[in-house]
Amino acid sequence: MQQVATAPREATAPPSALAFDDLYRTSRDDVYAYVAGLLRDSHAAEDVTALAFERAYRRRRRFDPRRGNGRAWVFAIARNAALDELRRRKRTASLLADPEDLEGADPGDESDAALRRAALRSALARLELRDRELIALRFFAGLGNGEIAEVLGISASNAGTRLNRAVDKLRKEMA
C-alpha cells in the first residue's frame, strides 16, 4: 500500500476557518463602537470587545461562510457578549447615574457641536435597548441592512424597517 504525503494540519486550514487576523484588524474598531453604543461605558466596552474576539477566535473553525460573512458573525458574537453584560448589570445594584463620559466634550465647552453631542447621548439613552442596538450597528459600526439582518437573525427588509423606526424615535427624542 502506497502512503500519500499530506501537509501538516496547521498548514492547511479547514475550509470553514476565518482569516482571523484580517477580520480582527478590519472589525475591532467597529465592534468596539457598536458595543460602546449599547453599554454606554467605554471600559466595559473594551472588556466586552476583547471577550467577543476571544470567543470568535476559539470558535473560528466552526465559522461557515455559507451562512454569512465573517464580519456579521463577529458582530453577532459581540452582540451576545454585550447582552450578557447588560443582563449581568441588571443582577447587580443599579447605578444612580450613567458613568461619566470621559471621551465626551469638555463641560466648559458650550459649542454647538458639544451641545448636539450631549443631546444625542441623552436621546440615545432614552431609547429602548433594541432601538439603540439598531442605531449602534448602523451608525457606530457602519453595517448595512444586510449585515444588520445577519447579526440579528432577521431579513434585510425587516432590518431596514426596524432601523427606520428607530431613527424616527431618535429624531422625536431629539426634538
What's 123's domain CATH number? 1.10.1740.10
56 in a structural domain: yes
10 in a structural domain: no
51 in a structural domain: yes
What pLDDT does 166 receive? 92
86 in a structural domain: yes
pTM to 2 decimal places = 0.64
Nearest to residue 51, comparing CAs of 25, 21, 28? 28
100 in a structural domain: no
14 in a structural domain: no
119 in a structural domain: yes
**pLDDT tens per residue across span 124-174:** 889 898 898 899 889 888 888 998 988 888 898 999 999 999 999 999 988
Residues 127, 170 contacting (CB under 8 angstroms): yes
**pLDDT tens per residue across span 66-111:** 888 889 999 999 999 999 998 888 775 444 444 445 455 455 556 8
Instruction: State the SS3 of 103-118.
Output: CCCCCCCCCHHHHHHH
Query: Which domain covers residue 132, as residue numbers?
Result: 20-92+113-174
Domain tally, the chain: 1
Q: What is the CA radius of gyration of the chain?
A: 20
68 in a structural domain: yes
Nearest to residue 172, comparing CAs of 127, 114, 135? 127
What pLDDT does 143 receive? 87
Q: What nine digits make up the cell of 83?
A: 447582552
